[in-house]
Structures are given as C-alpha cells and as structure tokens.
Structure 1
Amino acid sequence: MFTTRPEIAGTFGAVASTHWIASQVGMAVLERGGNAFDAAAAAGFTLQIVEPHLNGPGGDCPILLHSARLGAQQVICGQGPAPRAMTVAKLKGELGLDLVPGTGFLCAPVPGAFDAWMLMLREHGTWRVRDVLEYAIGYARNGAHMVPRVRATIETVRPLFESAWPTSAALWLRNGGPEPGGLYANPVLADTYERIVREAEAAGADRERQIEAARDAFYRGFVAEAIDRFARGFEALDTSGRRHRGLITADDLAGWRATIEPPLAFDYRGHTVLKCGPWSQGPALLQTLALLDGFDLGAMDPLGAEFIHTVVEAQKLAFADREAWYGDPAFTDVPMATLLSPAYNAERRTLIGERASLEFRPGSPDGRAPRAPDYAAAVRRAEEMAAAAGSGEPTVARLGASGGDTCHVDVIDRWGNMVSATPSAGWLQSSPAIPELGFCLGTRCQMFWLDESLPNGLQPGKRPRTTLSPSLVLRDGRPWMSYGTPGGEQQDQWQATMLLRMLHHGLGIQQAIDMPSFHCEHWISSFWPRGARPGKVVIEGRYAPEVLAELQARGHRAEMGGEWSEGRLTGARREPDGQILAGANPRGMQGYAVGR
C-alpha cells in the first residue's frame, strides 16, 4: 500500500511529533541517556517555540503515559480551571454575553502546560529543569526556523495586532514579522525560561527541589505576578466586539496544580484503548468503539462509503452524548460506566441505519434525561457566521476571530516507557502577549456554556471540557501504541479511523496516517461561536468520486476537501520482539518521526 515515507523502525527509541525540530530534540534527549519522560518534556517546550501559532507556555497539556517502572498507566491533567472570578453572573449578567468569547482575556483558564510537564518530570523523569529547558531556550534565544503557516497566521491577525493588541505587534510584527524559512527568535521568552532555571537552581542541588522551585516560580512567583498585572491592567478586544480586562489573578495560579489520575479504558478486539476522563472529549472515542463493536468493519473497504457512513453515524451518537453528559467530574455526575456498557451501546446501535441522520440524539443512560445545549441555536450560529464570511465582513480583522490548532508528541524509549501528549492553546493569536514574559494566555474557557446546569456549564474552579485527547493502546494487556493528533473536534475522529484501519485492515502506523481520511461537523463545536452543521461530512480529495456520490445518496451533506487535508496524526508502537515503530503525518510538511 502507498505511503509517503517509510515507517521508522528500531529498538533503541522513537519520537514522533508535529514538527521535525521537536522530534529531533526528543531523540537527542534519548541519545544522551534521558528517558521518554525527559524527551517528551524537552520536545514539548520546544514545540512552544517552533509552533507558536499552535501552542504556547500559557496553554494546556493533557498527558497519557506508561511507566515501565510502575508497570502502570497514568493521566497527567494539564488542563487548568476557570478563574475564581469567572462566573455566569459576571459574564452573562454583568457583561451581557451569550457566549464566552473565543479570544482575549475572559476565556483564559489557569495555564496548565508548564505544571503538567514539570509534574511528569518530577514523578517519572531523570533530568533537571535546566537540561529539559535548554533546547527551548536555545531556539527562543537564537531563532528557530519559521514554517510558512506561522507567517500566514500572523498576517491573518496583523490588523488586530496593529489596532488593538500592541504588545503582540511588538513581539510578532517587529522587522515586519518572521519570514517563512527564516529564523525568528523570542528573546523575552528566553529570558523568562532562563529566570525559571536560575530560581530552580537557587533551591539547591536536589533535582526534585529544583523542579518544585520552577513550579513555584511560574505559579507563585514572577510569572504569576506578571500575568495578574497585565490581564487586569489591559483591556483586550475580543470576539464579542468589546474590550475586557482579565479575570485571572495570581491567586488563581497559586491555588492550582496539575494532577495525576487513572485513565479511562475500553476493551476492543483484544486491545485496551486508554483516554483522559470526561473533562476531555476523549471518552467519545471509547463510545465510538463501543458502538462499532457490533459491525464487521473488517469486511468493509477502508476507502469505501460504507466504512465512512458507519463510523460517522456512530460518532454522531457518541458526540451527542459528549454534549449532554461530559464535564469536569469534580462538578458533574458523568454516568461513564453506563455510557460504555454493552447494554447501553446495543440499544444505541439500533439508531444507526442505512441513511444519514440529521438529528441531534443524545442518549438517556440509566433512564436519566439528557441536559444538552440548544442544538437549533448552534445551527443558526453556524449559518450566521457563514453568511457573514460570504458577505466579506472583516470578522477576523475586526475581532481577531482566528482560531488556533494543536501539537502532539509521542515517545517510546528502550525501557518501554511511553508518552502521548497533546499540548495546545496559548497560541500567538489567543490574547495579547504579556510583555514581560513573551507569551500570551490561553482560550480554553470558550468551551464553557453560560448555564451552570449544563454538564459543561461554567463554574469557578471547574475545568472546561477540552478537545485535547492523547491516546495509549494496550495489546493483550501490554503497552503497545502511543498516538494522537491536533485537530480540535477532529482529534477523536481521525484517531478512531487510524486505529480501526490498523486493527481491522492490518495497516501499519504510516500507512494508516497516509490513507485518505474524513471528518464530520454534525455536532456542536467546542469553539466560539459554537456552531453545528447537521450532516456535514468532509472527505479528503483523494477519495474516488463514487464515494462522495454514494455518501450524498445516503443523505450525508458530504463534500470533497483538499487532497492532503484530513488528519495530522503521529504515533509510535512497540512490538513483542522489541522493535519500536513510528510514523508521522506528511500533510503540511512539518511532522516527522525519528528513531533507531
């Protein structure tokens, strides 16, 4: 079967990520004796420099890992919560908002990525703070190669930076902005990380004390203080069309730490798929598998309309349950056991017919009535935004309505440790850059609804239900594969398709990544302006025209996308003979797997 590149194979270790520099950094750590956790952290901090339009220090990072030492898997939750002052009464009552804005300060949660990486390093790594951060500091100080998409993103928001976000203009538009293929430095961020290293080392020679000092510098020291001053002292134009100061404070940062949790698991055809809890959309992939367990996918053409139809219809049901039931389990009673149970999914499976459903159909686990957002209103919002775009309304320039994307990194080392991490948010286009720090805050709180009664309704201290969704897979109970992708709503769609093709059609990682894929936009988007497009399916342009025609005949509102437009997956797996194999997405010409 055609592939764009060979699947990497070796026995020493492998790293796959969404940018070749981060992959090489991770591999350099392994070559210098570091383990998978050291390598993933170094690669993760490097991604903040080489893909600043996709993630940043002010963003989030859920991590799934397997520790060979413990013989166990863990989730490290790097999803920060809503600030204490962020309430429905404040945003809806006092400020008159219907939705949480998609940019600016009001949608900023506590930054989670830094503490997630540090917690993993403390618990499972072997390297010190300086060792892990030196790669990111070097690229920030001396410059990193800028891919064309960074410049394209900056040009999209240039009018906003020049007219309303002067600190971002000072950082990203100096000397005209980074040129594609050139080097671009962020010396302010280099200073920030160098100061964290100095404060870490001032705590003494002990590695764990240094890590704790670094965490304190970020969450209880100069970083938190700078975030507090700037967010509360500057009014940022956001997608509401108005200017708002931030609600996040230094106390919010001081009161939060990343946590270690058990992963959710679902057994499928001899494999156990592990995901983060229902504070993420990850369980939707598990529900999709539970629904598809009643179909003979192996008998279907992996490039055929029947395969696409069956997977999409299962995902419509799983993602409807995401809207009706998922939320931070510390605040929301999520009936996860029932949602994954054979009886519940056997009943739901009967809803999958030969024709596409255009309905929004959450289930009633344990007889409970679903409590979901207004689907019709979401459809209207999508139609209104499409009409505005069609009329040439300068939404982006006026409001900065430019979304970001995400990164991913997978690492397996020679000892059998595995990491799957999906850092995101804190994009350069998220909110105004904090001038003393060289980075901006994230926007994940846009995923809350301004209705406390909903599972994902806003409450202070609550984690927004994130789309970030790393994956681990066990085979016959043994750790087998780490994989994931950027893509927001598409993350657990593309991941499901990749895994199904590997398990049912015998493909390797690179083959499954390269094969044409698809996505659906039927359910309510997690991102501002929270639209829905009933029945919309986009298939990659390399599909046969007959596939598109059959999907449309089945009632899907299907359309053909670009030839290399669907999926940005990476993955690595370890076979029983000790071989480590890895692959990465060729789309966009950035992702690479390395190993030996």
Structure 2
Amino acid sequence: MAITGKPLAATAGAAIFQQGGNAVDAACAMLAATCTMWDVLSWGGETQALIYNPKQKKVIAINALGVAPSGATIDFFKSKGYMFPPEYGPLAAVTPGTPGGLCHMLAKYGTKSLAEVLQPALQMAAGYPIDAQTANSIERGKDRIKQWPYSSEVFLVHAGESREAPEAGELFVQENLRNTLLKMVEAESEALKAGKDRSAAIMAAYDRFYKGDIADEFVRGSQEQGGLITKEDLARWKPIEEEPLHINYKGVDVYKLQEWTQGPALLQSLNILKYVDLKKMGYNSPKYIHTLYQAMNLAFADRDFYYGDPYFTPKAPMQGLLSDDYAKARALEIDPNKNNPFTAPGDPYRFENRKNPYSDLLENRARILDTAGAGVKDFVPKHDAQPAQGYLERSNVSNTASLPIDSNYMDRLHRGTTSVEAADAEGWVVSITPSGGWLPACIAGNTGVGMSQRLQSFVLDSLISPFNVISPGKRPRVTLTPSLALKDGKPFLSFAVQGGDTQDQNLLQFFLNVVEFDMSVQEAAEAPNINSNQLWLSLGGSTFDDRRPRAGSLLLDRRLDPSIADKLKGMGYTIQFGDRTSGPINAIFFDRKHGTLWGGSSNNGEDYGIGW
C-alpha cells in the first residue's frame, strides 16, 4: 500500500512496488516525487521517519532534520531586528535533510538502487503537467519569488505577462533539479562500476550532494542571496538513526520521534487521557471535547517550554514528562467544568527526583508571557502546513459573522500537504512527515533545490523555551511528527498528517477514533475533530503577539450540533467553525484477523492511496 500527498506521487510508490521493491523503496520514491512536485516541500527540506523493521521486530526512528548554519546566532538575528528567525528566504534555511534522509533509508533498509527510486522524480523534473493548486500557489507568491533570481527563473515561466506562473496542466520543467538528481545517480553508477555494493554506491550519491560539486553550487547560490550555510555545514551534517519514544495506551504501543519534534505531546496527551472513560463521555460531546482540549493544552504547554534538540544541552526531562505519575498529576489540574486560560508548563523534574533548574524562569515566563492576557485572534495559524479548514466564523452560535478570507488562506485550504505511508507483504512499514522548502521558496543557485524555512521554529529568547534557543549546528524543535502503533508486538496503525501545530492534535483524535470508537481508518480520517490554539505557534509571525497562545480559542467542525457550541461557550471557550478542521490524514490499519491492509486518506487535500 502506498499513500501520499499527490496522486502522481502515490503512483510512483505503487510503480516501485510493481517492480519488486519493498515499503522503504516505495516510500523513498514517493518522497522524491512529492519534493519534485513542490507538494508543500522541496528537496532542500527535512525528512523525519518511523520504520518498522520486520526482521528486527522493532521501530526505528530517522532524524533527517537540518541544522542551523554557521553564523545563525541569537546576536545575529537580534542585530537585524528579529524577534524570531525569518519566515522566508535564505536566512530562514537550515541545512538540507531530505536528500540525506532518503539515501540513508534506501541504503540501509531498501532493496532498489537510487537510480530506480529516483526514476519517477527524474521524469517529473523533465516535465509534468502541473496541478492547479501548485500553479496558483506560485502565482500568489510571485512578488516574493521575484526577490530571488534562481526561483524566478524556475517558477515564473511567463515573466512579464499578467499571469507569470505556469498554467494548470502546463508542462512544468525543472532542468536544474533534473541535473542535480542525475549527478546523484551518476555518482551511484560510478561507485557500482568501481566495485562498491548497493548501499555504498547510494552513499556515494549522498557524498556528492553534501560534499561534492552539488554542495559547492548549493552554498554558492545560498550565500549569493544572503544565506549563511557553508560547505562545512553541509559536510558536517548527517542523518541520525535513533530510538523512538513510546507509551502504552490500553494495550497499544504508540511510537513517536524524540523531542526534537512535537511528537511526544501526543504521547503525553494519551497518558493523561488513558485514565478517563472517553467512550462513556460520547464522541464529540461537550465533555469529550472539553477533556481533549484540556489534555492537549497541558501537553502542548510542556512542548512549548521543554522540547528541543536532544543532542544539545540542556536536555529535556523526557523520563519525567512521559511518566504515568506525571500524567496523573497533570490530569488533576483539569477543571471538568471550564477552560483554564492559564495552562502552564508543569514540573517533570520532580518525577525524575531532580530539582527543576528553570523554576525562576518559569515564574518570570508566567508573569511576562501571560496567556490569558493575549486576547483571542482568528484561528488562522501562519505555517507551512495549514490545516485544510473551510472559512471560519466567530460564533455566538445564534449570531455569526464571517471572517475575511484572502487568497493565500484559500490556497492553504485547497492544496493539502504531504505525508508518506507505505506497507508491504514482508512486514515493512514506513511513516514519514517530510516538509520544508515550501512555496514561495528560495532556490539555491543552479541546483533547482528549494531551501528549507525551518529556522523560524527556533526561539531567540529562553523565556519561551531554554531548550529551543537557536545555535549553530542545532536542530529546531519541529512540528513534523509521523506515528506508528504496535499491538501484541505487531504493526497496528501507521498514520501521519500535515498541519503545523495541529498535527498531533489531529493525530490524537484520529487514534482515539480508531481505538476508542471503533472507526475504520477512512472514517477516522474524515471524522469531525477540534483544534486548540492555546499554544505557542511554531511557524509564522514575527512578534510574540503573533505567536503567543490564544486562551480558549476552539475550532469546531461545522457538522457538529450547534447546541454543543452553546455548552462549550458556557465553559469559557471562544468558538469558531470550519468546513474542514484537519489537514489530510493518511493511515494504514493492519487487519490481523484477515491478513489484509486498510488504507485511509482524508478528503481534506489531494492525498491519495494505491493498494494491491
């Protein structure tokens, strides 16, 4: 089974399966295809994956997130007047992670050559009929694209005309990107001719990207446009294979990536909720929605303060954060009758028998960054993977008024985003949430590679998080968060979604839909859900006020009974409605009873699945 963000890319994965490849091969082909199609990411972005290895009977985590380049310091960005690193352009870039992550996964766990896996992407780079969503996104972002000469050359194929972007259905050609990919394939071929084995040959392609002539041009093109990435930054970076984090929820082992992602927030939420009878509350009842909202807020308050790159100090107190005793203590903070607008990070150090070294900082944080005083703004977070919402309404339930909708918002609404899910008969399972280098992207020289914009997920002030302060060589704490679940030691669910800070909110509800409410994966992917905005935004916005939590801001699906909103308003919530309240969820369920796979792909984007 192959599922991802575009039908053509899912077809690429299915084609690799038909050629005898395993799920890792298919996932790499889909990843390459979605990058080439600019499906809200590009080749210069980042890749994070969970892989179930049936030979070892274990879940493996792949950390292929780029790092802050040389010169990316607090003082540098503050000297330019930034409160957060910028959203766009060469100064928003971490080092590319996706090429290295793809090569690592393929070399170690795949069966095919890089040439075979990249063949669909190479064909697309030579020219494919561009979809309307991507073409229109280019047109809307053309003013920013014009700031960067290499981006203009690739994207604005009708420069000077009223519409400068490609038209829907027009063959979109990326010759520079094709040349870059061909150089990688060429390096693999030369290594094979020299007697290298399949794995070593793939890593020869890796070396050409990060240490050879591709790296030279990437760095030259980045620095020409004001970027900070150096040749040494690329050469030093490498993907990391890690142990994932996991908890057990009512007999299901749920796996997430480490705290360089927001993934552990889902685990914390489940730990809080596993002592509650959610089924008895009733699906999407006011009590159920309130309980979910409060549990998520507690977990995200901890995420906002404690999560960061585990390879730097300080290291997050994950043992305490994921302990059952800590979850029970946090659950006791939930008022069953009203929202708590002052939700704050807890003290997990007590559950590691340690003193919290940040007690004073937490006190100052509460005083200076008061969440309740922030007021409520429209729930339209500015990030790469906007959840696919319909237009929103501020609701007094009986008296509603439409909020303004601009074209950028509608673009985010319709284009969807990317995740990759794959599974095969041998038992390999892959869940990836790749991103970075989304439109409008700054392309690095003549590589055809769009640079990441993930640097904006760092903070410049330890008051927000001492664990996620920018530093050269460090990884930002990202929202990207694939998921795998095992039952009785065997794959049970593989699931992922895009949507910035809403990802683990949506995945939490999807998981509960399956486990607590017996939905199929397709029903669970399409079911109405909620979003909380009572958290610090990880992407978008240049000031504290842009990003600070919106206490009590609750997004509901328009399909819910209005009486539910009435009751929630009485509990201290400000209600907004959306036609769609989740990004596109992609999932695979492993039916042990029948020995079959069930695929799910929600109707909130262009995401598509093919099974055989």
1:542 aligned onto 2:559? yes
CA RMSD of aligned residues (A): 2.7
Matches within 5 A, 1:128-167: 128-143=113-128, 145-162=129-146, 164-167=147-150
Structure 2 match to 1:591: 607
Contact 1:15 1:572 in 2 (8 A): no
Could you list the runs of 5+ residues in structure 1 that have no partner in the other structure? 1-13, 235-244
- Give the counterpart of 1:328 among 303, 309, 317: 309
Q: Deviations over 1:198-230 (max 9, x none)?
A: 122111242122211110111001221112112
Distance 1:410 1:156, change over 3 A: same
Contact 2:341 2:372 in 1 (8 A): no
Tell me which amino acid in the other structure corresponds to 1:141: A
Structure 2 match to 1:95: 80
- CA–CA distance in structure 2, aligned partners of residues 379 and 53 of structure 1: 37
- Give the counterpart of 2:431 among 413, 420, 438: 420
TM-score by length of 2: 0.87
Distance 1:349 1:477, change over 3 A: same
1:189 aligned onto 2:141? no
Structure 1 match to 2:26: 39
Matches within 5 A, 1:346-495: 346-353=328-335, 354-367=337-350, 368=356, 369=358, 371=361, 375-376=369-370, 406-430=417-441, 432-451=442-461, 454-495=466-507
- CA–CA distance in structure 2, aligned partners of residues 539 and 513 of structure 1: 16
Tell me which amino acid in the other structure corresponds to 2:423: I
- CA–CA distance in structure 1, aligned partners of residues 307 and 416 of structure 2: 22
Contact 1:408 1:485 in 2 (8 A): yes
Q: CA deviation at 1:535?
A: 1.4
Structure 2 match to 1:170: 153
Contact 1:428 1:439 in 2 (8 A): no
Structure 2 match to 1:293: 274
1:211 aligned onto 2:224? no
Q: CA deviation at 1:405?
A: 7.4
- Give the counterpart of 2:244 among 240, 263, 270: 263
- CA–CA distance in structure 2, aligned partners of residues 23 and 489 of structure 1: 25
Structure 1 match to 2:544: none
1:561 aligned onto 2:568? no
Structure 2 match to 1:7: none
Q: CA deviation at 1:382?
A: 8.4
Structure 1 match to 2:539: 527
- Give the counterpart of 2:62 among 67, 76, 88: 76
- CA–CA distance in structure 2, aligned partners of residues 425 and 222 of structure 1: 23
Q: Deviations over 1:452-485 (max 9, x none)?
A: 6711111111110010000000012222211100
- CA–CA distance in structure 2, aligned partners of residues 384 and 308 of structure 1: 20
- CA–CA distance in structure 1, aligned partners of residues 145 and 322 of structure 2: 46
Contact 2:376 2:553 in 1 (8 A): no
Q: Larger deviation: 120-129 or 152-161?
A: 152-161
Contact 1:66 1:419 in 2 (8 A): yes
Q: Deviations over 1:317-368 (max 9, x none)?
A: 0000001111111113211111111211111101112211212311011242
Distance 1:391 1:502, change over 3 A: closer
Name the SS of the counterpart of 2:599 in structure 1.
Answer: strand
- CA–CA distance in structure 2, aligned partners of residues 382 and 87 of structure 1: 32
- CA–CA distance in structure 1, aligned partners of residues 47 and 332 of structure 2: 37
- CA–CA distance in structure 1, aligned partners of residues 24 and 95 of structure 2: 23
Distance 1:152 1:554, change over 3 A: farther
- CA–CA distance in structure 1, aligned partners of residues 611 and 416 of structure 2: 26
Contact 1:378 1:531 in 2 (8 A): no
- CA–CA distance in structure 2, aligned partners of residues 213 and 86 of structure 1: 29
Name the SS of the counterpart of 2:288 in structure 1.
Answer: helix
Q: CA deviation at 1:434?
A: 2.5
Name the SS of the counterpart of 2:151 in structure 1.
Answer: helix
Contact 1:60 1:112 in 2 (8 A): yes
Tell me which amino acid in the other structure corresponds to 1:440: G
Structure 2 match to 1:9: none
1:573 aligned onto 2:571? no
Q: CA deviation at 1:494?
A: 0.4
- CA–CA distance in structure 2, aligned partners of residues 227 and 406 of structure 1: 25
Name the SS of the counterpart of 2:60 in structure 1.
Answer: strand
Distance 1:510 1:391, change over 3 A: closer
Structure 2 match to 1:303: 284
Q: Deviations over 1:115-146 (max 9, x none)?
A: 11110111100111100111101011021x43
- CA–CA distance in structure 1, aligned partners of residues 449 and 375 of structure 2: 31
TM-score by length of 1: 0.89
- Give the counterpart of 1:106 among 77, 80, 91: 91
Contact 2:371 2:550 in 1 (8 A): no
Name the SS of the counterpart of 2:446 in structure 1.
Answer: coil
Tell me which amino acid in the other structure corresponds to 1:232: Q
Tell me which amino acid in the other structure corresponds to 2:344: R
Q: CA deviation at 1:556?
A: 1.1
1:515 aligned onto 2:502? no
Could you list the runs of 5+ residues in structure 2 that have no partner in the other structure? 159-163, 351-355, 383-401, 542-546
Aligned residues: 561
Tell me which amino acid in the other structure corresponds to 1:347: A
Distance 1:505 1:154, change over 3 A: same
Tell me which amino acid in the other structure corresponds to 1:118: C
- CA–CA distance in structure 2, aligned partners of residues 586 and 183 of structure 1: 26
- CA–CA distance in structure 1, aligned partners of residues 251 and 378 of structure 2: 46
Structure 1 vs Structure 2: percent identity of aligned residues? Answer: 31
Structure 2 match to 1:57: 43
Q: CA deviation at 1:379?
A: 7.2
Contact 1:375 1:532 in 2 (8 A): no
Contact 2:436 2:454 in 1 (8 A): yes
Tell me which amino acid in the other structure corresponds to 2:168: P
Name the SS of the counterpart of 1:86 in structure 2.
Answer: coil
